[in-house]
């Protein structure tokens, strides 16, 4: 009986490990003016089906806003608190009692980051306080029985490496040895992740003549070869992650998992950044990194290994100093419209809202059309995007089709905007199109050109789309079933092999 239980448990673990990809979250920084209230931010996050969020402190209003949601929250101990947290256990215990425990478990806190990129902090010797502070936070969690439910770690920048290329030569900066080894021992002992902030953008910005833009955007058709291992790299992100894996292996910390707590791409920059910082590049990079994570591709050195990644950031942060790019990493404007289209499921380039099936105003009988105030350029750009990455079937606006006449940009854009709007559950954001779309309550259908609603009639072209979608769904389900069967067969093989190799 015990052997049967062992077999079932082993199968379960292997199925979970091989059939589920990494998780994608978003960083919610607040160094900005005119941001929505935390409650509205939570609504925005839920609307876009974001399930993992990182904040950089433990603000009570924010923690309260995330209560009674399924969103998993990573909270932070700022560098300014590290000294006090490292010096006194009572300081940490008081902090937990007053600032964390009142919101848990209503607010689903899963990680605490003790310090952020402390080795880069120019103001204090923050890194010397990190490990003692981490130990005290863990001790405090143990006292209240939460040390296994809330993991403790710290976030670092890639500057922690002295060498990152080729990846197999990855090595930590020896000047941080006093801090690194005890930190890594803490992570290994407590099964906490190594948290890193990775930005291939900076590598391209600072050396555009030596680094290909396509290579950092996951768009390269060429490969970079690691001469020591023969492994082929098609993007810089994988190379940077593997450099960290090799650096950990060199210090004999092979069991520590890596979590990317920040990555992203800016939409605007100063003159020296204009070639790289743009909405198009940001959409390309973030779409590709999400797809890379959720499909569980892993890296050349760790193929198929799941990794959790957080996109930076939810909003632009105008209070930050430095180059223009520092203030322009946001996915949304303060009015909660999207800076560019992004899908956190990794299935397409358009946002997918929650499963409620209603828009934010609760109306199911609304349509989306082109705004009369939108410029021709904006309409054309939005129309091209919707018929391409937006996955809208635009057959109906082609010559001889029901919605070709009148042959105007506004008319064609209106039909396509509405198709995208309804396909994405008629949310306000799905009708934004950068301000080129507008919602109406009057049916814009005419003659044989029928504008669909969430549950209404469709043109023949739209019906064809629905059939194709149905076939795709069926095909996807069959593929999923095949993968699950394969996982089950593999897990059964190894489990039975393990059982047969043991004496009765």
Please list the active-site residues.
117, 262
- Stated length of the chain: 504
Q: DSSP letters along 302-314, please?
A: SBT----EEES-S
Secondary structure, 3-state, 212-264: CHHHHCCCCCCCEECCCCCCEECCHHHHHHHHHHHHHHHCCCCCCCEEEEEEC
Distance CA(184)–CA(460), nearest Å, equals 60
Residues 6+ apart with CB under 8 A from 249: none
State whether the Cα torsion 279-280-285-287 is positive or negative: positive
Tell how far CA 448 is from the center of its chain.
42
Distance CA(6)–CA(23), nearest Å, equals 28
In sequence order, the β-bridge partners of residue 345 are: none
Q: How many CA atoms lie within 13 A of 388 on its CB side?
A: 7
Secondary element (H or E) of residue 105: none
Radius of gyration of the chain (CA): 25
């Amino acid at each position: 009986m015990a052997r049967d239980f062992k077999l079932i448990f082993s199968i379960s673990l292997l199925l979970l490990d091989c059939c589920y990809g990494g998780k994608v979250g978003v960083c919610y920084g607040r160094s900005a003016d005119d941001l929505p209230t935390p409650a509205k931010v939570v609504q925005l996050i839920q609307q876009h089906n974001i399930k993992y969020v990182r904040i950089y402190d433990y603000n009570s209003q924010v923690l309260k806003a995330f209560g009674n949601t399924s969103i998993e929250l990573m909270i932070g101990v700022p560098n300014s608190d590290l000294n006090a947290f490292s010096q006194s256990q009572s300081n940490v215990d008081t902090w937990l009692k007053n600032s964390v425990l009142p919101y848990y478990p209503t607010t689903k806190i899963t990680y605490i980051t003790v310090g952020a990129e402390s080795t880069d902090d120019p103001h204090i010797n923050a890194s010397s306080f990190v490990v003692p502070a981490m130990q005290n936070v863990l001790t405090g969690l143990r006292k209240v029985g939460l040390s296994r439910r809330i993991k403790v770690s710290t976030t670092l920048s890639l500057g922690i490496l002295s060498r990152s290329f080729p990846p197999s030569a990855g090595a930590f900066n020896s000047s941080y040895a006093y801090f690194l080894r005890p930190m890594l021992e803490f992570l290994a002992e407590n099964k906490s992740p190594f948290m890193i902030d990775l930005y291939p953008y900076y590598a391209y910005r600072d050396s555009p003549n030596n680094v290909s833009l396509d290579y950092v955007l996951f768009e390269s058709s060429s490969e970079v070869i690691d001469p020591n291992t023969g492994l082929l790299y098609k993007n810089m992100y994988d190379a940077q992650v593997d450099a960290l894996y090799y650096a950990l292996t060199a210090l004999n910390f092979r069991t520590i998992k890596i979590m990317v707590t920040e990555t992203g791409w800016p939409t605007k920059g100063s003159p020296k950044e204009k070639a790289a910082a743009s909405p198009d590049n940001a959409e390309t990079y973030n779409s590709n990194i999400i797809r890379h994570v959720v499909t569980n591709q892993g890296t050349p050195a760790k193929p198929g290994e799941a990794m959790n990644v957080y996109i930076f950031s939810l909003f632009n942060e105008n209070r930050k100093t430095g180059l223009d790019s520092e203030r322009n990493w946001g996915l949304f404007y303060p009015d909660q419209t999207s800076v560019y289209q992004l899908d956190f499921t990794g299935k397409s380039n358009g946002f997918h809202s929650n499963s409620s099936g209603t828009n934010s105003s609760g109306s199911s009988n609304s349509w989306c059309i082109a705004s009369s105030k939108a410029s021709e350029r904006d309409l054309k750009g939005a129309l091209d995007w919707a018929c391409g990455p937006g996955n809208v079937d635009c057959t109906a606006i082609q010559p001889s089709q029901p919605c070709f006449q009148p042959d105007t940009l506004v008319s064609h854009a209106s039909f396509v905007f509405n198709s995208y709007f309804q396909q994405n559950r008629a949310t306000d954001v799905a009708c934004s199109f950068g301000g080129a779309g507008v919602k109406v309550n009057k049916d814009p259908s005419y003659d044989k050109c029928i504008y669909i609603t969430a549950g209404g009639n469709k043109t023949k072209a739209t019906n064809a789309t629905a059939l194709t979608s149905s076939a795709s769904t069926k095909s996807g389900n069959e593929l999923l079933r095949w993968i699950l069967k394969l996982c089950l067969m593999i897990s059964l093989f190894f489990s039975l092999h393990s059982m047969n190799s043991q004496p009765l």
